Amino acid sequence: MRYRRVKGTRDILPHEAEARRGLESQVHEQLSKAGFLPILTPTFEYYELYQRSTGESSDIVTKEMYRFQDMGGRDLALRPEGTPSVMRAVLENRLKIPIRLWYVMPMFRQDKPQKGRYREHTQVGVEVIGEAEPQADIELIKLGFDLFTLMGIKGMFLELNTIGCRECRSGYTEQLTGFLKEHHDELCADCKVRMNRNPLRVFDCKVASCQSILKQAPSQRDHLCSACIEHFDAVKAGLERFSIPYEENERLVRGLDYYSRTVIEFKSSTLGAQDTVCGGGRYDYLMGELGGPPTAAVGFAFGVERALLASRGEGIFEFNQSSIPLLLLPLGDEAKVYSLELLFKLREAGIGVQAEFRSGNLSKQLKRANTRNACKVLIIGENEIASGKFILRDMQTGDQQEVGFDELLNLFCSAKGQSC
Ligand code: HAM
């Protein structure tokens, strides 16, 4: 074969595409009830937007961006995540805050492909902009919990942490940097860079030797200011009150630079290495970083591919050609023209019908109907057109009956006639 899809991309075949539509409409219904409005932003933006928001110390910006220059010399990037572009759109279009927005959009990251990790994936994201209270965090986490329960995510658990605010984080990063300096020579090359750019990022490192050093790292808990402790305690109390199970994970820092205070990840034990279905948290400084007024915000996003994997398992979307409830088989040119008219009339009446317009005698047409997986066929020749009576054949049993248009409608408008 001459052309193949690009490494890390996927063809989403009809069964999976249908399942995604179902998932999206379920999500749409739930989010509308919670006051979320849909938004869509461009697939590419100025590179600087992500550099500034997702952050210069994130793996996404340093290693995974599809960055390119267009013919006008603009420095652009394919969207790796939705939060920065949504915030830019809110600012640029002067949307009134507070506002709750949601999106389903493709994202692009040039990471190493593996099960559940692709170079193009789709995220459903929700952003609550302009709500600073811990109740907004609780509401959002409950929304995610209910959505994933509804979707039937298997082996789901929630990890929770707080990474403090600007004030209390600076004392902690100083102490952490001191600790990392002491272990400088034992750190991997990436962590040596992370240490200078954003020391918290070292907790994202997957290298075993770094992980074991980090076990002795100072805890951020000892540095939280009273406002951050109060916020975190309120979030935890809320989750307990609404019976949402969670595990506190002090090492959860998330891989993007804009977070503050609450951070969360919903995981599934069924997924293997890429087990995070959903990630999110507060990002109270991002709007200010982008040149807007200081605006608290909290949100999350989940990967549609991972959600489907975790709810339905692998192999479920193997594609089998689906059946055609009714196939018109015209015999001859006049019948072809007539069939087209009949096709439109039947469809108008709500019947799922197709026609086989290739020429051929009856036995050839019946063979084609078999290949196309037709349940029933309607044979249309010159005599049938003249009499207005057609032969309806059941492709499984071979039974035939003569039917007029009205009988056909009666047969197929009842659920019985629509399936094999
Ligand atoms: P993220 O954790 O980078 O967060 O991505 C969110 C989710 O997208 C992940 O939990 C995962 O399910 C899915 N995902 C990420 N990368 C891939 C990939 N390469 N292949 C397949 N699925 C993937 C964000 O993007 C933040 N914008 C979330 C957020 C919204 N925070 C606040 N509001």
DSSP letters spanning 50-102: HHHHT-TTSHIIIII--EEE-TT--EEEE-S-SHHHHHHHHHHTTPPSSEEEE
Task: Report the alpha-carbon distance of residue 211 to residue 214 in Å, rounded.
Answer: 5
pLDDT tens for 26-48 read 999 999 999 999 999 999 999 99
Does the pLDDT value for residue 168 go beyond 50? yes
Lowest mean pLDDT among 121-130, 343-352, 408-417: 408-417
- 246 CA distance to ligand 1 centroid (A)? 19
**Is 264 strand, coil or helix?**
strand
Does the pLDDT value for residue 414 go beyond 80? no
Helix 405-413 vs helix 333-348: angle between axes, to the nearest 10 degrees? 50
Q: Compute the average pLDDT of residues 85-108.
A: 98
Instruction: State the Cα torsion 304-305-308-314 to the nearest 10°.
Output: 180
- Per-residue b or e along 212-245, where b marks 16 or more CB atoms closer than 10 Å to that residue's CB: ebbeebeebeebbeeebeebbeebbebbeeeebe
Strand partners, 400: 393
Does the pLDDT value for residue 418 go beyond 90? no
Task: Pick the atom of ligand 1 nearest to 119's CA.
Answer: 19
Query: How far, CA to CA in Å, does 44 sit from each of 75, 86, 105, 321, 370?
Result: 10, 12, 12, 35, 46
- 391 CA distance to ligand 1 centroid (A)? 55
Answer yes or no: same fold for 14-165+225-316 and 324-411.
no
Q: Compute the average pLDDT of residues 267-282.
A: 96
**Residue nearest ligand 1's atom 11 by CA:** 303
Give me the amino acid identity at 185. Answer: D
pLDDT tens for 130-144 read 999 999 999 999 999
Q: Compute the average pLDDT of residues 339-364.
A: 96
Domain-by-domain residue ranges, the chain?
A: 14-165+225-316, 324-411
**How do 99-108 and 120-129 pair as beta strands?**
antiparallel
pLDDT tens for 198-209 read 899 899 888 999
- 57 CA distance to ligand 1 centroid (A)? 17
- Contact, 62 vs 50, CB < 8 A? no
Q: Compute the average pLDDT of residues 345-363.
A: 95
Using pLDDT thresholds of 50, 70 and 90, give the confidence band for residue 417: very low
Residues at CB less than 6 angstroms from ligand 1: 81-83, 109, 111, 116-118, 121, 123, 125, 127, 255-256, 276-281, 283, 299-303, 305-306
Most ligand 1 atoms within 8 A of CB, residue of 81, 101, 260 to mutate = 81
Q: What is the pLDDT, as a whole number, of residue 315?
A: 67
- Contact, 54 vs 257, CB < 8 A? yes
- 107 CA distance to ligand 1 centroid (A)? 9
- 277 CA distance to ligand 1 centroid (A)? 8
- 119 CA distance to ligand 1 centroid (A)? 12
**Residue nearest ligand 1's atom 21 by CA:** 117
Helix (H) or strand (E) holding 260: strand 260-268
Most ligand 1 atoms within 8 A of CB, residue of 39, 66, 107 to mutate = 107
Using pLDDT thresholds of 50, 70 and 90, give the confidence band for residue 415: low
Of the candidate CATH numbers 3.90.226.10, 3.40.50.2300, 3.30.930.10, 3.30.1360.200, the domain formed by 14-165+225-316 belongs to 3.30.930.10
Q: What is the pLDDT, as a whole number, of residue 1?
A: 84
User: In 10 A of CB 109, how many CB atoms?
Assistant: 20
Does the pLDDT value for residue 321 go beyond 80? no
Comparing CA positions, the residue from 69, 77, 81 lying closest to residue 48 is 77
- 258 CA distance to ligand 1 centroid (A)? 14
Omega of the bond leading into 14 within 30 degrees of 0 (cis): no
Q: What is the pLDDT, as a whole number, of residue 320?
A: 76
Does the pLDDT value for residue 314 go beyond 90? no
Q: Token pair 């979030």 is at which residue?
A: 235
- 68 CA distance to ligand 1 centroid (A)? 22
Most ligand 1 atoms within 8 A of CB, residue of 62, 278, 306 to mutate = 306
Topology classification of domain 324-411: Rossmann fold (3.40.50)
Task: Report the alpha-carbon distance of residue 206 to residue 203 in Å, rounded.
Answer: 8
Average pLDDT, the chain: 95
